[in-house]
Amino acid sequence: MKMAISFISGVIVCSLILFGVKTVIPTKAETDPPGDASENATLGLVNLIPDIEKIYREALIMPFEKAESKIYDKDIAEFYHELLDKTGLRESASDSK
């Protein structure tokens, strides 16, 4: 019985603390209206983050391109080049335009 009362009172105290913190700390970081934000302010942090997709794609494709440069047989090289284009590992000329 004593343990149940302690548990219930603990839940109530934690709920009151969370509710109190929620009312004191603002949930939005914006202080200006959204229309007044300059381009530098909105893109400032985005420019600091590296382009993960580009890094991943480059790490995925580079070994296949290095392997392609070591193929000296014309027919096999053509097949390998076509294989990379069809699997989507490399952008073909029509995709890049």
Hey, where are the domains in the chain?
Answer: 50-91
Mean pLDDT by 10 residues, the chain (97 residues): 91 88 66 55 66 85 88 90 85 50
Residue type, 25: I
Token pair of 87 as six digits: 């699997």
pLDDT of residue 41: 56
Residue type, 13: V
pLDDT of residue 96: 47
Q: Which residue has the tokens 């794609």?
A: 57
Distance CA 84, CA 77 (A): 11
CB 61 within 8 A of CB 89: yes
pLDDT of residue 29: 57
Distance CA 81, CA 61 (A): 12
What pTM value is reported for the model?
0.41
